[in-house]
Chains A and B, each alone.
Chain A
Amino acid sequence: MKILVCMKQVPQKDAPLKLNESGTWIREDVSYEVNEPDAYALEEALRQKEKHGGEVVVITAGPARAQQVLREALAKGADRAIHLEDPAFVTLDAANIARAFAAAIKDEKFDLIFTGLQSDDFGFAQTGVILSELLGWPHATIIMQIEKANGGIKVKRELEAGYFQYVEMPLPAVLTIQSGINKLRYATLIGIKQAKNKPLRKVAIADVQSSLVANQLNIRKLYVPQKAKKTEMLEGPAADVARKLIEKLKNEVRVL
Chain B
Amino acid sequence: MIIFRKPLTGIERPQMEADVVIVGGGPAGLACALRLSQLIDKHNSKHPDQQLTKENIYVLEKAREIGQHCLSGALLDPRSMRELLPGFEKEAPIEAEVTREAVYFLTKGGKFKAPITPPPLRDHGNYVISLNRFAKWLGEKVEAAGITVFSGFAGSELLIEGERVTGVRTDDKGVDKSNQQKGNFEPGYDLKAKVVILAEGTRGSLTKQLVARFHLDRDRNPMTYGVGAKELWELPPGRIAPGEVIYTMGWPLTSCEYGGAWIYGGKDNVISLGFVTGLDYPDPRLDPQRVLQEFKLHPMVRALLEGGKMIRYGAKSLPYGGWWAIPPMAGEGWMILGDSAGFLNSQRLKGIHLAIKSGMLAAETAFEALSQNDFSAARLAGYQRHVENSWIKQELWKVRNFHQGFEHGLWAGMFHAGLQQITGGRGLHARYPATPGHRRLKKLVELPADGGAEAHLINDYKGDSKLTFDKLTDLYHSGTKHEEDQPAHLVIQDTNICNTRCVTEFGNPCQHFCPASVYEMVEASDALSGKQIHLNPSNCVHCKTCDIMDPYEIITWVPPEGGGGPNYEGM
* A–B touching in complex (CB under 8 Å): yes
Which A residues are within 8 Å of any B CB, using their own CB? 12, 14-16, 30-31, 33, 182-190, 192-193, 196
Which residues from chain A contact B183 at a C-beta distance below 8 Å?
182-183
Q: Can you name the residue of chain A whose Cβ is closest to the Cβ of B64?
A: A33
- Complex: A31 Cα to B173 Cα, angstroms: 23
Q: Is A188 touching B186 in the complex (CB atoms < 8 A)? A: yes
Q: How far is the CA of A183 from the CA of B173 in the complex (A)?
A: 12
| Chain B, residue nearest A72 (CB) | B152
CA distance A168 to B178 in the complex (A): 41
* Bound CA span A152–B186, Å: 33
Chain B window 182-201, contacts with chain A (Cβ cutoff 8 Å), 1 for yes, 0 for no:
11101001010000000000
Q: Which of B65, B189, B311, B477 contacts A189 (CB 8 A)?
A: B189
B184 touches A189 (CB 8 A): no
> Please, which residue of chain A has its CB at the minimum distance from the CB of B133?
A29
- 18 A-B residue pairs with Cβ-Cβ distance under 8 Å, sorted by A, are A12-B567, A15-B479, A15-B567, A31-B68, A31-B479, A31-B567, A31-B569, A183-B174, A183-B183, A186-B173, A186-B184, A188-B186, A189-B14, A189-B150, A189-B189, A189-B191, A190-B16, A192-B150
Inter-subunit contact B174/A189 (CB<8 Å): no
CB–CB B148/A30 < 8 A: no
B164 CB–A CB distance under 8 Å = no
Taking the nearest CB of chain A, how far is it from the CB of B566, in angstroms?
12
B547-571 CB mask vs A (1 if < 8 Å, else 0) is 0000000000000000000010100
Residue from B14, B182, B477 in contact with A188 in the complex, judged by beta carbons closer than 8 Å:
B14
Name the interface residues of B516-571: CB closer than 8 Å to any CB of A: 567, 569
Contacts of A188 in B (CB 8 A): 14, 186, 189
Query: What is the minimal beta-carbon distance from A209 to any residue of chain B, in angstroms?
Result: 30
- Chain A residues contacting B150 (CB-CB under 8 Å) are 189, 192
Q: Is A186 within 8 A of B14, CB to CB?
A: no
CB-defined contacts of A190 to chain B, threshold 8 Å: 14, 16
* Interface: B402 (CB within 8 A): no
Contacts of B189 in A (CB 8 A): 188-189
Could you tell me if B153 and A31 are in contact, using CB atoms closer than 8 angstroms?
no
A14 neighbours in B (Cβ, 8 Å): 479, 481
B: residues with CB less than 8 A from A are 14, 16, 64-65, 68, 148, 150, 152-153, 170, 173-174, 182-184, 186, 189, 191, 311-312, 477, 479, 481, 567, 569
- Docked Cα-Cα span, A193 to B55, in Å, equals 9
Shortest C-beta distance, B24 to chain A (Å), equals 16
Please give, as numbers and ranges, the residues of chain A lying within 8 Å of B173 by CB-CB distance: 186
A184 to B184, CA, bound (A): 7
Residue contact A183 to B184, C-beta cutoff 8 Å: yes
Give A236 to B481 CA distance when docked, in angstroms.
42
A31-B65, A183-B184 given; A196·B148 CB < 8 A: yes
In the complex, chain B residues whose CB is within 8 Å of the CB of A12: 479, 567
Q: How far is the CA of A182 from the CA of B184 in the complex (A)?
A: 9
Cross-interface CB contact of A30 among B170, B182, B569, cutoff 8 Å: B569
Chain A residue at minimal CB-CB distance from B570: A29
Look across to chain B and name the residue whose beta carbon is closest to the beta carbon of A182.
Answer: B183
Instruction: List chain B residues, Cβ under 8 A from A185.
Output: 184, 186
Cα distance, A188 to B170, chains bound together (Å):
10
Contact A189 B567 (CB under 8 A): no
For B311, the chain A residues whose CB sits under 8 A away are: 16
Query: Which residue in chain A gives the minimum CB-CB distance to B68?
Result: A31
What is the CA–CA distance of A182 and B174 in the complex, to the nearest angstrom? 13
The residue on B at minimum CB distance from A189 is B189
**What is the number of contacts between chain A and chain B, taking CB atoms within 8 Å?**
46
Measured in the bound complex, the distance between the Cα atoms of B190 and A190 in whole Å is: 12
CA distance A83 to B352 in the complex (A): 37
* A184 neighbours in B (Cβ, 8 Å): 184
Interchain CB contact under 8 A, B481 and A189: no
Known contacts A16-B312, A183-B182, then 13 further A-B pairs from the complex at CB < 8 Å, ordered by chain A residue? A14-B479, A16-B311, A30-B569, A31-B65, A33-B64, A187-B152, A188-B14, A188-B189, A189-B14, A189-B16, A189-B150, A190-B16, A192-B150
B14 proximity list for chain A (CB < 8 A): 188-190
Contact at B567–A192, with CB atoms within 8 Å?
no
Min distance, Cβ B183 to any Cβ of chain A, angstroms = 4
Q: Which residues of A contact B312 (CB under 8 A)?
A: 16
| Chain A residues in 8 Å Cβ range of B148 | 192-193, 196
Chain A's closest residue to B562 (CB) is A186
The smallest C-beta distance from A154 to any residue of chain B, in angstroms, reads 23
Interface pairs A-B: 7 shortest CB-CB: A183-B184, A183-B183, A186-B173, A186-B186, A185-B184, A189-B189, A31-B569
Alpha-carbon distance between A183 and B176 when the two chains are bound, in angstroms: 12
**A193 to B, closest residue via Cβ:** B148
CA distance in complex: A199, B173 (Å): 27
Chain A CB within 10 Å, residue with most, of B14, B186, B191, B481: B186
Bound-complex Cα distance A187 to B174 (A): 11
**What's the minimum C-beta distance from A69 to chain B, rounded to whole angstroms?**
13
In the complex, how many angstroms separate the beta carbon of A47 from the nearest chain B beta carbon? 11
* Distance of A190 Cα from B18 Cα, bound (Å): 12
> Complex formed: what's the CA distance from A163 to B170 in Å?
43
How far does the alpha carbon of A113 sit from the alpha carbon of B504 in the complex, in Å? 63
For residue A189, which residues in chain B have a CB less than 8 angstroms away from its CB?
Answer: 14, 16, 150, 153, 170, 189, 191
Give, as a whole number of angstroms, the nearest-CB distance from A30 to chain B: 7
CB neighbours of B184 from chain A (8 A): 183-186
Q: In the complex, what distance in Å separates the CA atom of A184 from the CA atom of B189?
A: 19
Chain B residues whose CB sits within 8 angstroms of the CB of A186 once the complex forms:
173-174, 184, 186
Per the bound structure, the CA–CA distance linking A49 and B174 in Å amounts to 22
Residue of A nearest to B151 (CB): A192
Residue of A nearest to B58 (CB): A189
Whole-angstrom distance between the alpha carbons of A16 and B174 in the complex? 28
Q: Shortest Cβ distance from A16 into chain B, in angstroms?
A: 6
Nearest A residue to B481 via CB reads: A14
Complex alpha-carbon distance, A214 and B340, angstroms: 55
In the bound complex, what is the Cα–Cα distance between A193 and B147 (angstroms)?
11
In the assembled complex, the Cα of A186 lies from the Cα of B148 at a distance in Å of 17
Q: Look across to chain A and name the residue whose beta carbon is closest to the beta carbon of B309.
A: A16
In the complex, A15 Cα to B183 Cα: how many Å? 29
Min Cβ gap A75→B in Å is: 10
Residues of chain A with a CB closer than 8 A to B170's CB: 189
Measured between beta carbons, the chain B residues less than 8 angstroms from A183 are 174, 182-184
Taken together as a complex, chains A and B put the C-alpha atoms of A176 and B66 apart, in Å, by 32
Q: Which residues of B contact A30 (CB under 8 A)?
A: 569
Instruction: A196 to B65: give the CA distance in the assembly, Å.
Output: 17
In the bound complex, what is the Cα–Cα distance between A54 and B292 (angstroms)? 57
Residues of A within 8 A of B481 (CB): 14
B336: shortest Cβ distance to chain A, in Å? 23
B14 CB to closest chain A CB (Å) equals 7
Residues in B neighbouring A33, C-beta threshold 8 A = 64
Q: How far is the CB of B487 from chain A (nearest CB, A)?
A: 16
How long is the Cα–Cα vector from A33 to B567 in the complex, in angstroms?
12
Question: CA separation between A193 and B182, bound complex, in Å?
Answer: 24
In the bound complex, residues from chain B placing their C-beta under 8 Å from that of A31 are 65, 68, 479, 567, 569
A15, A33, A183, A188, most chain B CB atoms within 10 A: A188
**Bound-complex Cα distance A102 to B520 (A):** 54
Contacts of A16 in B (CB 8 A): 311-312, 477
Contacts of B16 in A (CB 8 A): 189-190
Nearest A residue to B182 by beta-carbon distance?
A183
Bound Cα distance A190, B567 (Å): 26
User: A198 CA to B68 CA in the complex, in Å?
Assistant: 27
Name the CB-closest residue of A to B146.
A196
Assembly CA distance A186 to B561 (angstroms) = 11
